[in-house]
């Protein structure tokens, strides 16, 4: 009898675990989805549940942004902890800040996630305070693909010039990473 109870508890926990890996009616699985962008750089999407429905809880994307005037390439990292509802297996979000506008979208189907990302950044160019000029740095039409699982390593992101961190309230912080 004791064995039957223990086995019943184990089976119930396994069923609960498997059920918790499914997030909503669309079958979007919870956990960290990781993959690459069309630039060959890392993307991570953390999917969770809110009120029984699937949501993107946070995302991390490494991308290169090309500047129009100087020809400089900014190596960027965006870490956003802003919830995005997943409806019908799809999601989309625009982040608009002073000097930056990003669009992130995607869809989950068949154990894979695919989508797009675009970024516009107003940057300053120049070497002296009195001679600064503005220029636009962009990364447009990036495609990405991700699968559930995969651990991040520091080498995945490489050297980064700027990090943009967005919290759930929408507060943003642009920082230069320490070497």
pLDDT in tens, 39-86: 999 999 999 999 889 999 999 999 999 998 888 899 999 999 988 999
Q: What pLDDT score was predicted for residue 131?
A: 67
Q: What pLDDT score was predicted for residue 179?
A: 62
Q: What digits encode the pLDDT tens for the residues 148-159?
A: 987 665 455 678
Q: What digits encode the pLDDT tens for the residues 93-133?
A: 998 877 788 999 999 998 899 999 999 988 776 666 666 77
Q: What pLDDT score was predicted for residue 37?
A: 96
Q: Where is pLDDT greater, at 136 or 157?
A: 136
- Both tokens assigned to 179: 């070497």
Q: What distances in angstroms separate CA 94 from CA 82, 84, 105, one per listed residue?
A: 10, 10, 9
- pTM comes to 0.77
What are the residue boundaries of the structural domains of the chain, listed by start? 2-175
Q: Where is pLDDT greater, at 103 or 7?
A: 103
Mapped onto helix, strand or coil, the DSSP state of residue 169 is coil
Res. 142 pLDDT band, cuts 50 70 90:
very high
Cβ(120)–Cβ(81) below 8 Å: no
Q: What is the DSSP letter of 22?
A: B
């Amino acid at each position: 009898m004791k064995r039957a109870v223990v086995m019943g508890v184990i089976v119930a926990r396994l069923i609960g675990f498997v059920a918790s890996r499914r997030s909503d009616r669309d079958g979007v699985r919870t956990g960290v989805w990781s993959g690459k962008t069309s630039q060959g750089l890392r993307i991570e999407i953390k999917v969770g549940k809110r009120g029984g429905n699937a949501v993107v809880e946070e995302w991390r994307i490494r991308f290169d942004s090309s500047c129009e005037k100087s020809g400089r390439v900014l190596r960027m990292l965006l870490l956003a902890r802003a919830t995005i509802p997943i409806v019908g297996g799809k999601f989309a979000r625009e982040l608009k800040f002073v000097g930056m506008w990003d669009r992130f979208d995607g869809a989950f189907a068949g154990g894979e996630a695919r989508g797009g990302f675009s970024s516009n950044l107003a940057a300053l160019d120049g070497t002296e305070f009195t001679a600064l000029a503005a220029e636009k740095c962009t990364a447009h039409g990036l495609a990405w693909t991700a699968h559930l699982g995969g651990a991040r390593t520091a080498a995945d992101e490489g050297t980064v010039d700027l990090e943009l961190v967005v919290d759930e309230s929408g507060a943003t912080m642009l920082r230069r990473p320490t070497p």
